[in-house]
Structure 1
């Protein structure tokens, strides 16, 4: 119970409330669809629920399947919002441990198997003592991947979604004007750039992420149905806005600069006091 209370305190009331409302919305959407969607097995049943929910949301908007996908995507983003908040909190805590981790790496250089094992054990103990999960960053991805796969299969398994249209799009075919793939890539760049700018400790891989991922999304979105691209556009836009509020790099950079200035001021006062003490001794 104590661990659950700590988890709830870390995430906050609003993300949990939005996640609860998303669950209610998904269930109501599924129940509001009166048609039949076939699905066999555990995975088939999951895909069927997914399709029914999109069609149910679409029925709220006069069978606009594009709006159904947009609203359902927002439901999914709200559903995983607590995991995203938990991920950001863990990342911030891990950034605060960089000096301690570097000290452990100096103690255990990792030049042999025993040293690497000792380093891994020491890092795990450090994370445990600080209440940090180094695998927290994987949780949102593990949730999103089944949703994305289910969406892709749902489009192909549902003649209704496959034949649906939205604005200039045929949801079962690629975007003929490449607008959605470009938007998906741009929003991916925006969220990745904001995330990396919020992290002062960057290596070559993290610096390259904002430029590599958008190209992967762009070329993938060019080959998938517009419904999947639409999901990416809405989801990545949500992710970009969410990253700005949870990991505002401008605010975090200002806080780091203020902390650094405070440390320099303290160091200056210490040096001044030491010089004054030396003069008195003379």
Structure 2
């Protein structure tokens, strides 16, 4: 029987390949920020970027020409459409966390048994015992990762992102206090702050050790979004800010639905 770790390596390579293909196809024309020619556009530009561009323009026309409101509305529609997938992914994540908590004592025993043994035979035996433990508890680490929702949502979000960059009509309009086509000094801080809040919400219910492990990774997203937003049209941090607020609500819902409730010790009979 082939090892679960071998399967994981295969899936990881496939995932990286898919991401690379999407990025390369999307970056050919859309990454330049220039209008896309429907006649010469590649598959990704034609069926993702141009489709979202038409949706943004159609919604803006319906809303009296407000491209700012259109970006807000389409962002919410896209996020709502992806929400079932994201909630399913969150559910799998919590289920995996519960199963790992049950497995942990036996996993620790296996690791302690082979601690310091780096020879091939010991590593093979440790891997075999780990597989047997997974089978005993009907635990599939690959299936529990919930990769499919990530793969499905990635081209949609990237396509929408590039549609905002390449839809020239957006740059000719203003929204609230800023021009959608020009960098704004306030929106980068707004977008970064919202994604920092989203990171903090994602940590609710985590163990202190997990929070410590995620601390640095959680700061990368808001810092990068804020940094990129300073040189990007304000339409992009608007999109990130709206998407970030939606993610906060989505995470609160998923935690309410799926996060294990703390057990309450029963009252003693003498009380």
- TM-score, length of structure 2 as denominator length: 0.69
Following superposition, the deviation at residue 50 of structure 1 comes to 0.9
Give distance in 1, aligned partners of 2:59 and 2:219. Answer: 35
**Who is 1:41 aligned against?**
42
Aligned to 1:95, what secondary structure does the other structure show? Answer: helix
Residue 161 in 1 paired to residue 134 in 2? no
Following superposition, the deviation at residue 44 of structure 1 comes to 1.9
In structure 1, list runs of 5 or more residues that go unmatched. Answer: 1-35, 273-282
**Who is 1:24 aligned against?**
none
What do the CA deviations read for 1:192-243 (whole angstroms, capped 9, x no partner)? Answer: 2122122237433224444443223222222322222111100100111121
1:199-210 counterparts in 2 under 5 A? 199-200=206-207, 202-203=209-210, 204-210=212-218
RMSD: 3.3
**More moved, 60-69 vs 196-205:** 196-205
Following superposition, the deviation at residue 144 of structure 1 comes to 4.3
Contact 2:191 2:225 (C-alpha < 8 Å) held by counterparts: yes
In structure 2, list runs of 5 or more residues that go unmatched. Answer: 1-35
Q: 1:135 to 1:224 in 2, by over 3 A?
A: farther
Give distance in 1, aligned partners of 2:163 and 2:201. Answer: 32
Give distance in 1, aligned partners of 2:220 and 2:148. Answer: 21
Contact 1:174 1:224 (C-alpha < 8 Å) held by counterparts: yes
Tell me the matched-pair count.
224
Aligned to 1:87, what secondary structure does the other structure show? Answer: helix
Q: 2:156 aligns with which of 130, 140, 147?
A: 147
**Who is 2:251 aligned against?**
243
Q: 1:134 aligns with which of 122, 140, 144?
A: 144
**Who is 1:198 aligned against?**
205
Larger Rg: 1
Following superposition, the deviation at residue 154 of structure 1 comes to 2.4
- TM-score, length of structure 1 as denominator length: 0.67
Which has the larger share of helix?
A: 1
**Who is 2:58 aligned against?**
56
